[in-house]
Chain A
Amino acid sequence: MTKTSIRIGRRRFNTLLAAAAAAPFAAPYVAKAATAKVVVIGGGFGGATAAKYLRRFDSGLEVTLIEPNETFVTCPFSNTVIGGVNPIGRITHGYDGLRRHGVTVVQDLAAAIDAERKEVRLAGGSAVPYDRLIVSPGIDFKWGAIEGADESIVEKIPHAWKAGAQTTLLRRQLEAMPDGGVFVISPPDNPFRCPPGPGERISMVAHYFKTHKPKSKIIALDPKKSFSKQGLFKQGWEQLYPGMIDYRNLENDGRVVRVDADTMTLHTDFGEVAGDVVNFIPPQQAGRIAQESGLADNTRWCPVQPATFESALVPGIHVIGDATIAAPMPKSGFAASTQAKVAAAAIASVLNGQDPAAPKFVNTCYSLVAPDYGISVAGVYNVQDGKIVELEGAGGLSPGDADHSFRQREADYARGWYDSITQDIFG
């Protein structure tokens, strides 16, 4: 009896010591003898956050980020560039911050994942081995899903739904457009990256027109019955840009069935709309490498285990961000970054022989209706019975009856959010 107690006591003692040595999430902390290798594919909101926080959670991990571009241009706030409010440099971030945190940044394209051999093959020819892999591939477009909408049109009809050269192209087209011109925008069907993004883009273009080309018009052709923050956007548009925006949803012949780049015309079920500047945003799916690596299911998106964001299809590989099926969380940069931290913490725990802590997710999406007029939608999410559940009574939209100072503060907080999250990821 006595001997048994002592034995249990000692075993417990040792277990707890081992856990104590390997546990807390405060950096810096004890390096392990055997170095575990974690590779992250994709340097956007999800991947860059994951790489940094893996090192933060466990400075003993060898973390490699694979990203073909030298800098990352954020989709959040890219609408302010399109509206002429900010220069592209304001939304461009390098990876030196990650390097300072001890992340090895490999500037190359991840060509393929070999899950059997646990390595990522690079377009440059070499291979990077991993113990755990995080894939943050973002979205790709379903080219050809709508007649005439193939990749060849993007220099004439930009999507500007991956920020960078497409953003500046759309900006230049709007600058070149004469006053009195027509801007036509077509948001995609669900699910897609950044649900309030089209509303904000319309707003920022309307702001530019109001201040520079007041005779111009905006026509939106939307295949959906409604869109994110619709009531708040429409209220703002009526107040700030009366008569400028003609928004046609599914019930008003808003569904585009054919794109004609030669005539700059979008054809709908029953009509057609030509524009001086046309912004057709194609339907979307998880990024290429997810499709080619068996991480996406027949919906073309990636199912995951919500507590760890480990793939439901390929063990040992975590998928985060827009590519995942994480509804009711939206496909947002904020959500991707939050998911990245949960995946990174889970990996650090598992590699240290611990059970991952129960996660909780928050998302807030700010949109600018004008530079001094912000609106938001928030959500708080728990994992219950293996599913992500949005907490009832929490989250939701900015109030409809808010005064101007409230909208002004939310615009300030939108910029504050951007400054903090980009510092948190790239700083």
Chain B
Amino acid sequence: MQTQFAGPVVLALAAALLFSAGNAMADERRGAILANTCFSCHGTDGHSAGAMPSIDGKSADYIVETLMRFRDGSKPSTVMVRIAKGFTDEEIRMLAAYFSGGK
């Protein structure tokens, strides 16, 4: 029994792992698409060329918390309160993953 099912079980497990890797990859691509639009103000990859704050290399926790506080208005801002309101929790997490580079 054990031997007979070993092959399929291993393959099924590998497939499941790859399937979730596929999902993670789709999330990563979606995160990149979302993040690209931030570059116009915050610079390429979040590295600002001027007066806008840079966001590259900030921790994921910091980015999530900051965006959520912009969104609920508890952190004062000029424009981010208006922009953050257009993003869901999931989208905020994808952005944080992108800009933090996994930190």
Which residues of A approach B to under 8 Å, CB–CB?
Answer: 2, 5-6, 8-10, 12-13, 16-17, 19-20, 23-26, 53, 334, 337-338, 341-342, 345, 349, 357-362, 364, 376, 378, 380-381, 391, 393-396, 398, 406, 409-410, 412-413, 415-424, 427
Contacts and interface: CB of A to CB of B under 8 A. Distances in A.
A278 B102 CA distance: 55
A246 B14 CA distance: 72
Given A5-B11, A417-B40, A419-B50, A20 B33 contact: no
A395 B86 contact: yes
A17 B15 CA distance: 11
A424 B11 contact: no
A412 B51 contact: yes
B36 A341 contact: yes
A412 B53 CA distance: 11
B79 interface: yes
Interface string B62-81: 00000000000000001100
Contact of A423 (B19, B49, B51, B87): B49
A334 B51 CA distance: 17
Interface in B28-64: 28-30, 32-34, 36-44, 48-52
Contact of A13 (B14, B32, B37): B14
9 contacts: A9-B8, A20-B21, A24-B29, A359-B33, A360-B37, A361-B37, A362-B86, A410-B78, A419-B49
Is the contact region of chain B dominated by helix, strand, or loop, or is it mixed?
Answer: helix
A378 B79 contact: yes
Given A19-B25, A395-B85, 15 more contacts: A8-B15, A9-B15, A10-B11, A17-B18, A24-B25, A357-B29, A391-B85, A395-B83, A395-B86, A416-B50, A417-B41, A420-B49, A422-B49, A424-B39, A427-B49
B78 A424 contact: no
Contacts of A422: 49
Contact of B91 (A349, A360, A409, A423): A360
A416 B48 CA distance: 8
Contacts of A358: 30, 33
Contacts of A420: 39-44, 48-50, 52
Contacts, number: 160
A67 B48 CA distance: 27
Interface residues of B, number: 42
A361 B43 CA distance: 16
B70 to A, nearest CB: 11
Contacts of A24: 25, 28-29, 32
Contact of A12 (B19, B25, B51): B19
Nearest to A391: B86
Contacts of A421: 39-41
B85 A393 contact: yes
Interface of B: 4, 7-8, 11-12, 14-15, 18-19, 21-22, 25-26, 28-30, 32-34, 36-44, 48-52, 78-79, 82-87, 91
A289 to B, nearest CB: 25
A364 B78 contact: no
Contacts of B19: 12, 16
A413 B85 CA distance: 19
B16 to A, nearest CB: 10
A25 B32 contact: yes
A180 to B, nearest CB: 37
A420 B8 CA distance: 52
A32 B15 CA distance: 25
Given A338-B40, A364-B41, A413 B51 contact: yes
Contacts of B37: 338, 341, 360-362
Contacts of A427: 44, 49
Given A24-B28, A364-B41, A423-B43, A415 B51 contact: yes
A163 B26 CA distance: 40
B85 A360 contact: no
A342 B40 CA distance: 13
Given A2-B8, A10-B11, A421-B40, A380 B49 contact: no
Given A361-B37, A420-B42, A415 B50 contact: yes
Nearest to B82: A378
A395 B82 CA distance: 4
A9 B18 CA distance: 10
A378 to B, nearest CB: 5
Contacts of B8: 2, 5-6, 9
A26 B31 CA distance: 11
Given A364-B41, A413-B79, A394 B49 contact: no
A412 B33 CA distance: 27
A413 B53 CA distance: 9
A424 B44 contact: yes
Contacts of A393: 85-86
A364 B78 CA distance: 12
